Each structure stands twice: as structure tokens, then as C-alpha cells.
């Protein structure tokens, strides 16, 4: 392709992206200014915010696929060592996400009320508070890393790799927290595109870093030629460090843009206090504490599921981990739409637009159910190929395919729970959904899994998960329809 044509295409792509962003900004302004919006405008705004958020979520899953497939080539033990601690890493990252939401939802409300100075004040305080919180989590994580594999019931031969993987992950938690915070703040301001672009970049960097850190120095044969490729040969530890370095670059880029370039939130043109105030912390705790508790509940249940799966053997541990990673290809679009729901509902509530709040809630939830329903059907058909990319071990592949095909039936109702939760977060209604998750997962999933696993093996665990997700989606839809989550509107008048 001629260079001039390539430049023209790039210029056109940038112009189109800028045009779409300007359209979304214009529609968001209608919310803040109290102007009427047609259904078509509401739908276009939902799609405009959802698509970049879905791309970002899918990028994070691609990164997990990269780690899983690269480590999977090292054998079942390496895969199982990461799978053993994966639920605990989700627990810690979930707590960082909850801390982010405690401040980013406040920012969405203040932007909706056109209080940009107040939004920037919350951002400054959030940077300090969440960094200190994540540093404490990092100390705890590194401290328990040595004993964690034993607590989870893993085979002794994978203890060392599992421990090192988790220790490296935990030490980079402040970096992950800043990435979450900056991305969350930008999304709540309506900027979904930059976080998604940075997420794609992070995937590319993860491939590069893993390529050199996981594998030892070797010769790569291309036709009749051989090319020497240096490598650290660190295996599982290399996968953890490669991902951490990619996150470091992403966090740096997002924080730089947020603090110096974001039209709504940049901090360079005014001074203000970074020390968190009592009022800001109280609001953050009201929003974030139930979310953190919910993540403890969910990830605690996942850890208990790992304890249930661990006695089934190395193949079941690895297949369970791969299937969870593969299934996320389906449900991450739901989380992307949930991010858009949080932004739309948060700004609508901040603007006092109760009519728009309800309509955006319904639009996003049903959009999520449609998208994840299609993704579930695709996952059922393509399960052999999806798992085959991640591991060459036939025993693991058979178990993973079975798990994915069971779970495919639950995807639409899982979407209802995911996106409805995003709606409730935007409304700062997080306590009751936390209790709903607690009951659903611990009373339905774990009891059913513990009952079925001894007789059905890994299949019983995934049948229990499928039943529980359908039940959870149903109860979240009931709460969404009743509308009690909107009663907190008066709490956030600025």
C-alpha cells in the first residue's frame, strides 16, 4: 500500500474516532443540561459508550488467553500452578476495583450535576486513598504468598510456582490500582475510548514481555534459516512479571492523560488538597465497602470452589482454570456494557433525571442479555477450538470443553446479573445486591457443587454454577423491575 494512502487511512480513522467521541460527548451533555432525549439518542449513546468498554474488557481476556496459552505449553503443572491461585488474584483485584468505584461513582454524579471542580477534588483524594489501600493489600498478599498454595489444597509439586506467581502479582497491586482508578475515572467522565485503546496496547506488550520472559533462549527455525531468540526462561514467574510490566505501562499512560489532558478531570490548571476529607471517604465507603464485601463473597466462593475441585486432580484444576478463562470471552462484553450502565445511570442520577435513569437501566440490561446470549451460542459451538488454543493436553481439553458447553446455557441470565449490578453501582445502591450475590453463590452454587462433585466430578461443579447463574440473573431482574434501587437518588444531590 502506498505510504500516502496509508496516511490518509490513518487520518480518516482518527477523524472518525474523534467524530464518534464528539457525538457521545454531545449526547452526554443533554443529560447534564436537562434536555429531552429520544429513544434513538439514548440507544446511540448506550452503544457509543458500550463498544469501547467491551473492547477494553475483551482485551483483558485476550491477555489472560495469552498467559494461559504460553504457560500451557510448559505442561499441566505450570497451568495448574496459576489456576490454583487465580481465584485469590481475582479477590485482590476485585477489592482494588471496589475502592475505585467508591470514588469514580462520586465523580460521575458530580459531572452529571456539572460540578467539575468537585469532581476533580474527588479525583485528587481518590488517588491518595486508593494508593494507600492497594499498598496495604500488596503487603498482605506478599506476606501470605508462601502459605497460600497449601491453604488451597494444591499438590506440593506446584507450590513453588504458584507462590512465586502470586507474590509477583501482589507486589504490583498499587500499579493495578492506579490503572483501575484512572480508567474508571475516564469512563465515568464519558471517555470510554482511551481506556480501551490502552488495554489493546497492554495486550500487545504482554505478548512481547511474555515471549522473552517465559521461555529460555532458543533458536527459531524459519524455513531453512535459524534465528537466535534470547529469553529469560522464568516460566510461570515470567508470565506474572510480563503481565505486571504491561500493566505498569498502561497505568502510566492512563494516569498521565487523566491528570494532564482530560477536559473534565485534568489537575494541572488548579490546585487542591489531596488529603481525603471525611465526607468523601464516607461516600466512598458507602459505595465501595459493599462492593468490596461482595467481591470477598464471590471470590471466597470461588476459592471454596477451588478447594472442591483440587481433590479431583491436576487435570481438573487446570481444566477448571482454563474453562473459567475461556468463559470470560462471553461474559466480559457484559462487564463492558455494565461499565457503560454505571456511567449513564450515574450521570443521569447526578443530573436528577429519574426518567433517563430508568430507561438507560433497561436498555443496557437487555442489550447485555442479547450480546451474551449470542456469545454463549458461539462458545458452545467453538468450545473445542477455544480450549485447544490454551492447552495441548487431551485430558484437560475434554474436561474444559464439557465445562464450557454446560455454562453456555447460563450466559443470558448471567448478563442480567452483571449489567443490572452495573446499574445499581451507578445508582450507589450496592448493599442489597451484595447480599443477593452472597445468598445466591453460597446457598445455591457451593452447596450444590459440594453435593454433585463427589459423584459427577468437575461436571457437577459446572452444573451447579450454571444453575446458580440462572437463579442470580432472575433475582437481579426482579429487583431492577421493582425500582427500589432508585430511592437513593436524593442522597447525591450536589
CB 389, CB 401: distance < 8 Å: no
* Continuous segment of H or E residues that includes residue 216: strand 216-222
- Pick from 112-116, 248-252, 314-318 the range whose average pLDDT is largest: 248-252
pLDDT number for residue 144: 96
pLDDT number for residue 488: 55
What angle is formed at CA 143 by the lines to CA 140 and CA 145, rounded to 5 degrees?
105
CB 427, CB 349: distance < 8 Å: yes
Q: Write out pLDDT tens, residues 291-319.
A: 888 778 777 787 788 788 878 888 888 88
State pTM to two decimals: 0.76
Give the pLDDT band of residue 255 (cuts 50, 70, 90). Answer: very high
What is the average pLDDT across 389-410? 87
Q: Write out pLDDT tens, residues 188-202.
A: 888 888 988 898 898
Place of cell 509477583: 168
Q: What is the DSSP string of 109-172?
A: HHHHTT-HHHHHHHHHHHHHHHHHHHHHHHHHHHHHTTTHHHHTT--GGGHHHHHHHHHHHHHT
Average pLDDT, the chain: 85
Pairwise CA distance, residues 43 & 359, whole Å: 10
User: Taking 50 as the threshold, does the pLDDT of residue 150 lie above it?
Assistant: yes
Instruction: Give which of 227, 309, 319, 287 is closest to 424, Cα–Cα.
Output: 287
- Pick from 95-99, 353-357, 426-430, 490-494 the range whose average pLDDT is largest: 95-99
Place of cell 527459531: 220
Give the pLDDT band of residue 87 (cuts 50, 70, 90). Answer: confident
CB 224, CB 84: distance < 8 Å: no
User: Taking 90 as the threshold, does the pLDDT of residue 250 lie above it?
Assistant: yes
CB 67, CB 328: distance < 8 Å: no
- Ranking 76-85, 276-285, 361-370, 433-442 by mean pLDDT, the lowest is 76-85
pLDDT number for residue 61: 67
Measured CA distances, 129 to 134, 183, 421 (Å) = 9, 16, 24
CB 137, CB 175: distance < 8 Å: no
Q: What is the distance, to the nearest Å, from the Cα of residue 456 to the centroid of all Cα atoms in its chain?
A: 31
Burial (CB count within 10 angstroms: exposed 0-12, middle 13-18, buried 19+), residue 271? exposed
Give the pLDDT band of residue 64 (cuts 50, 70, 90). Answer: low
What are 249's strand-pairing partners? none
Q: Write out pLDDT tens, residues 263-296.
A: 889 998 788 889 999 999 999 998 888 888 877 8
The percentage of residues in the chain with a pLDDT greater than 90, rounded to a whole number, is 38
Q: What is the number of residues in the chain?
A: 494
Give the pLDDT band of residue 22 (cuts 50, 70, 90). Answer: low
What is the average pLDDT across 26-49? 81
Measured CA distances, 429 to 46, 111, 254, 343, 435 (Å) = 21, 18, 28, 14, 12
Instruction: Give which of 337, 185, 318 is closest to 258, Cα–Cα.
Output: 185
pLDDT number for residue 280: 93
Phi and psi, residue 56, nearest 5°:
-65, -45
Judged by DSSP in three states, 272 sits in coil
What is the average pLDDT across 380-392? 84
454-469 per-residue burial string, b: 16 or more CB within 10 A, e: under 16: eeebbebbbbbbbbbb
User: Taking 70 as the threshold, does the pLDDT of residue 490 lie above it?
Assistant: no
Report the interhelical angle of 3-32 vs 314-350 (nearest 10°): 60
* Continuous segment of H or E residues that includes residue 227: strand 225-232
Higher pLDDT, 223 or 116: 116
Measured CA distances, 61 to 184, 214, 219, 281, 327 (Å) = 18, 19, 30, 32, 10
Phi and psi, residue 40, nearest 5°:
-60, -40
pLDDT number for residue 257: 96
CB 336, CB 57: distance < 8 Å: yes
Pairwise CA distance, residues 69 & 10, whole Å: 32
Pairwise CA distance, residues 382 & 403, whole Å: 13
Pairwise CA distance, residues 462 & 449, whole Å: 8
pLDDT number for residue 23: 64
Place of cell 446458580: 468
Higher pLDDT, 169 or 313: 169
Domains of the chain, residue spans: 47-492
Give the pLDDT band of residue 1 (cuts 50, 70, 90). Answer: very low
**Cell numbers given for 374:** 449470542
Pairwise CA distance, residues 420 & 117, whole Å: 30
Instruction: Give which of 357, 333, 337, 332 is closest to 50, Cα–Cα.
Output: 337
Higher pLDDT, 471 or 438: 471
Place of cell 479477590: 91
Pairwise CA distance, residues 170 & 135, whole Å: 9
Pairwise CA distance, residues 114 & 109, whole Å: 9
CB 82, CB 71: distance < 8 Å: yes
User: Taking 50 as the threshold, does the pLDDT of residue 13 lie above it?
Assistant: no
Instruction: Give which of 414, 247, 403 is closest to 325, Cα–Cα.
Output: 403
The alpha carbons of the chain give a radius of gyration, in whole angstroms, of 22
Q: What is the DSSP string of 235-299?
A: THHHHHHHHHHHHHHHHHHHHHHHHHT-TTT--TT-----SPPHHHHHHHHHHHHHHHHHHHHHH
Give the pLDDT band of residue 474 (cuts 50, 70, 90). Answer: very high
Pairwise CA distance, residues 279 & 305, whole Å: 39
What is the average pLDDT across 349-357? 84
Amino acid at each position: 500500500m502506498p505510504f500516502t494512502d496509508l496516511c490518509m487511512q490513518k487520518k480518516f480513522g482518527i477523524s472518525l474516532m474523534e467524530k464518534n467521541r464528539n457525538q457521545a460527548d454531545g449526547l452526554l451533555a443533554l443529560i447534564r443540561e436537562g434536555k429531552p432525549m429520544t429513544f434513538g439518542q439514548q440507544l446511540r449513546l448506550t452503544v457509543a459508550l458500550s463498544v469501547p468498554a467491551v473492547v477494553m474488557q475483551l482485551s483483558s481476556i485476550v491477555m489472560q488467553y495469552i498467559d494461559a496459552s504460553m504457560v500451557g505449553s510448559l505442561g499441566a503443572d505450570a497451568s495448574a500452578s496459576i489456576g490454583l491461585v487465580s481465584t485469590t488474584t481475582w479477590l485482590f483485584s476485585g477489592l482494588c476495583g471496589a475502592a475505585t468505584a467508591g470514588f469514580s461513582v462520586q465523580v460521575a454524579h458530580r459531572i452529571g450535576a456539572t460540578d467539575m471542580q468537585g469532581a476533580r477534588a474527588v479525583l485528587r483524594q481518590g488517588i491518595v486513598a486508593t494508593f494507600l489501600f492497594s499498598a496495604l493489600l500488596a503487603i498482605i498478599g506478599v506476606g501470605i504468598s508462601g502459605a497460600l498454595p497449601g491453604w488451597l489444597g494444591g499438590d506440593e509439586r506446584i507450590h513453588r510456582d504458584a507462590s512465586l506467581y502470586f507474590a509477583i502479582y501482589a507486589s504490583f497491586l498499587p500499579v493495578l490500582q492506579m490503572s483501575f482508578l484512572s480508567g474508571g475515572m475516564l469512563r465515568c467522565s464519558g471517555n470510554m475510548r482511551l481506556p480501551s485503546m490502552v488495554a489493546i496496547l497492554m495486550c500487545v506488550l504482554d505478548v512481547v514481555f511474555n515471549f522473552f520472559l517465559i521461555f529460555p533462549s532458543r533458536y527459531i527455525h524459519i524455513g531453512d534459516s535459524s534465528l537466535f531468540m534470547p529469553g529469560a526462561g522464568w516460566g510461570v514467574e515470567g508470565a506474572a512479571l510480563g503481565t505486571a510490566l504491561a500493566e505498569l505501562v498502561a497505568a502510566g499512560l492512563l494516569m498521565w492523560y487523566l491528570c494532564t489532558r482530560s477536559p473534565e478531570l485534568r489537575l494541572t490548571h488548579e490546585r487542591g488538597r489531596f488529603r481525603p476529607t471525611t465526607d468523601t471517604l464516607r461516600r466512598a465507603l458507602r459505595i465501595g465497602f459493599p462492593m468490596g464485601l461482595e467481591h470477598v463473597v464471590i471470590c471466597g466462593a470461588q476459592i471454596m470452589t477451588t478447594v472442591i475441585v483440587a481433590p479431583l486432580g491436576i487435570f481438573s484444576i487446570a481444566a477448571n482454570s482454563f474453562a473459567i478463562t475461556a468463559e470470560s470471552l462471553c461474559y466480559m462484553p457484559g462487564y463492558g456494557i455494565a461499565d457503560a450502565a454505571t456511567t449513564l445511570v450515574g450521570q443521569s442520577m447526578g443530573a436528577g433525571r429519574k426518567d433517563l435513569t430508568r430507561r438507560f437501566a433497561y436498555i443496557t440490561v437487555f442489550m447485555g442479555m442479547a450480546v451474551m446470549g449470542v456469545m454463549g451460542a458461539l462458545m458452545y459451538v467453538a468450545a473445542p477450538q477455544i480450549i485447544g488454543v490454551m492447552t495441548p493436553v487431551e485430558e484437560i481439553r475434554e474436561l474444559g470443553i464439557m465445562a464450557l458447553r454446560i455454562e453456555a446455557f447460563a450466559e443470558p441470565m448471567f448478563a442480567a446479573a452483571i449489567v443490572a449490578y452495573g446499574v445499581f453501582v451507578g445508582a450507589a445502591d450496592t448493599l442489597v445486591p451484595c447480599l443477593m450475590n452472597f445468598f445466591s453463590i453460597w446457598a445455591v452454587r457451593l452447596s450444590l457443587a459440594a453435593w454433585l462433585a463427589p459423584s459427577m466430578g468437575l461436571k457437577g461443579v459446572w452444573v451447579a454454577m450454571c444453575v446458580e447463574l440462572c437463579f442470580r440473573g432472575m433475582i437481579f431482574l426482579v429487583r431492577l423491575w421493582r425500582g427500589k434501587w432508585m430511592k437513593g437518588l436524593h442522597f447525591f444531590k450536589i
